[in-house]
Amino acid sequence: MAKKRALITGITGQDGSYLAEYLLEQGYDVIGMIRRSSTVNFERIHHIQDKVTLVAGDLLDEVSMIHLLREHRPSEVYNLAAQSFVQTSFSQPVFTGEVTGLGVTRILDAVRVVDPGIRFYQASSSEMFGKVQAVPQTETTPFYPRSPYGVAKLYGHWITVNYRESYDMYACSGILFNHESPRRGLEFVTRKITNAVARIKLGKDKELRLGNLDAKRDWGYAKDYVRAMHLMLQQDTADDYVVSTGETYSVRRFCEIAFGHVGLNYQDYVVIDERFYRPAEVDLLVGDPAKAATKLGWKPEVSFEQLVTMMVDSDLQANK
Ligand code: NAP
Ligand code: F7E
């Protein structure tokens, strides 16, 4: 049987790197779309660089994606690329809309033009629930985004549904709740905390400046979540799924566990800094993963405490 071939946009990101590893393990040919930059940023994929094919393309440029789809003919496309940082979306709302929102139309349309039989995964987000209209959030909970990022993701979600319904494409939207790992970008609160804990423990820093400690998130492990992406594209029909743990914890609790893991009290080091507050906040997210469990047979394997301590341990090693 011919090898399956997948294209991943955003392969240099946290999820892209884990998904590439997972698909290689499943025997796929993996094509990774990377955007041109003056310096390479392959930190997350350097260990698999010789096993994947990296090709240039950009979500801002539909023609680049038509060319690479024609040349490489994947059977599955995972659209993970995005301007993914909520805080930045407030200062760069138009750019975020171009990449995170309209970018989805560009790649979906490139797929439609080249081969509408290609299976498509869109990286949608719990940020679409924003000011939540029900607890816990399910696939049928009404959306109420609270940032330009959330608004852009909502556009990406609905254009995916629209292409599925208009052109009979196998297009899925994975509504993923926050997922973290030692590869998480340093600007996101979890990694910011675990990196600071390591640096403080090693005597390299003295304090950690944070914003809203009372925000609650449903935090899972990125490596668990990429399995769900793959499962969504292996079903008889395309559909949308919430992927989450079903548990929620505050940023404060994350700090407590992370500092506690190295024998410190977060209250001695965390300083509240207004600069890290957002113009509009998402106070509480908690997803109901029942549909993913029943229909995909998916469940998370790493607990919240395991995730926090894994990230602290990794940052202790990296900062030595
Ligand atoms: P990430 O680490 O920020 O990675 C984003 C990726 O997108 C990077 O590879 C980046 O490339 C690429 N990219 C950005 N702009 C691009 C453009 N114009 N053209 C092509 N590539 C571009 O994000 P992540 O945490 O892995 O998340 C993956 C996806 O899931 C994102 O769409 C994110 O919005 C979504 N999501 C994430 C979470 C989460 O908790 N992690 C939850 C729900 C949804 P560079 O390396 O060149 O910057
Ligand atoms: O913030 C609060 C902040 O930036 C989490 C992205 O992957 O998940 C992510 O978006 C919470 C917020 O992630 C700081 O106000 C407090 O309430 O880690 P974050 P996010 O905004 O939830 C969703 C699902 C995505 O789709 C996104 O792509 O933590 N918080 N103090 C802080 N956050 C940051 N970054 N920095 C602080 O100092």
pLDDT at 171 over 80: yes
Whether residues 210 and 225 share a domain: the answer is no
The answer to whether 305 and 245 have CB atoms below 8 angstroms apart is no
Whether residues 49 and 145 share a domain: the answer is yes
Whether residues 264 and 230 share a domain: the answer is no
Locus of tokens 């341990």? 313
pLDDT tens readout for residues 82-130 = 999 999 999 999 999 999 999 999 999 999 999 999 999 999 999 999 9
Helix (H) or strand (E) segment spanning residue 5:
strand 5-9
137-145 long-range contacts, Cβ below 8 Å, gap at least 24?
137/242, 137/244, 137/285, 137/286, 137/287, 137/288, 138/242, 138/287, 138/288, 138/290, 138/291, 139/175, 139/240, 139/241, 139/242, 139/291
- Asked, for residue 290, whether it belongs to a domain, the answer is no
Lookup: tokens for 77: 């496309």
Whether residues 94 and 128 share a domain: the answer is yes
pLDDT tens readout for residues 273-296 = 999 999 999 999 999 999 999 999
In the predicted model, what is the mean pLDDT of residues 44-54?
98
Q: State yes or no: is 303 an active-site residue.
A: no
Whether residues 114 and 126 share a domain: the answer is yes
Lookup: tokens for 221: 């492990």
132 phi and psi, to 5 degrees?
-65, 140
Whether residues 116 and 230 share a domain: the answer is yes
- Asked, for residue 148, whether it belongs to a domain, the answer is yes
Which residues line the pocket of ligand 1, CB cutoff 6 A? 9-10, 12-16, 35, 37, 41, 58-60, 80-84, 99, 123, 125, 176, 178-179, 185
What is the average pLDDT value for the chain, to the nearest integer?
98
Whether residues 268 and 257 share a domain: the answer is yes
As a whole number of angstroms, the distance between CA 226 and CA 210 comes to 29
Lookup: tokens for 28: 């796929």
Ligand nearest to the CA of 228: 1
Where residue 63 sits, what CATH number does that domain have?
A: 3.40.50.720
Whether residues 77 and 107 share a domain: the answer is yes
Reported as a pLDDT band with limits 50, 70 and 90, residue 2 is: confident
- Asked, for residue 86, whether it belongs to a domain, the answer is yes
Ligand nearest to the CA of 253: 2
In the predicted model, what is the mean pLDDT of residues 145-165?
99
- In the reported structure, the alpha carbon of residue 83 is separated from the centroid of ligand 2 by a whole-number distance in angstroms of 13
Whether residues 226 and 214 share a domain: the answer is no
- Asked, for residue 293, whether it belongs to a domain, the answer is no
Ligand nearest to the CA of 175: 1
pLDDT tens readout for residues 14-43 = 999 999 999 999 999 999 999 999 999 999
Structural domain harbouring 274 = 185-218+249-282+302-319
pLDDT tens readout for residues 83-96 = 999 999 999 999 99
- Asked, for residue 75, whether it belongs to a domain, the answer is yes
Whether residues 212 and 224 share a domain: the answer is no
Give how far Cα 50 sits from Cα of 25, 31, 55, Å: 14, 11, 13
Whether residues 115 and 93 share a domain: the answer is yes
- Asked, for residue 287, whether it belongs to a domain, the answer is no
- The single residue of 127, 155, 221, 225 carrying the catalytic annotation is 127
Count Cβ neighbours within 10 Å for each residue of 122-156 and write b for 16 or more, e otherwise. Answer: bbbbbbbbbebeeebbeeebebebbbbbbbbbbbb
Locus of tokens 């009372």? 214
Where residue 195 sits, what CATH number does that domain have?
A: 3.90.25.10
Give the chain's domain count.
2
- Asked, for residue 289, whether it belongs to a domain, the answer is no
Look at ligand 1, atom 23, and give the residue with the nearest C-alpha. 13
pLDDT tens readout for residues 300-320 = 999 999 999 999 999 999 999
The answer to whether 245 and 220 have CB atoms below 8 angstroms apart is yes
Whether residues 262 and 310 share a domain: the answer is yes
pLDDT at 162 over 80: yes
Q: Which residues pair with 241 in a beta bridge?
A: 174
- Asked, for residue 136, whether it belongs to a domain, the answer is yes
pLDDT tens readout for residues 59-79 = 999 999 999 999 999 999 999
- Coil vs helix vs strand at 240: strand
Q: State yes or no: is 274 an active-site residue.
A: no
In the predicted model, what is the mean pLDDT of residues 257-266?
98
In the predicted model, what is the mean pLDDT of residues 133-143?
98
Which residues line the pocket of ligand 2, CB cutoff 6 A? 84, 86-87, 125-127, 177-178, 187-190, 192, 210-212, 215, 217, 251, 276, 278, 281-282
**Structure letter (DSSP) for residue 179:** E
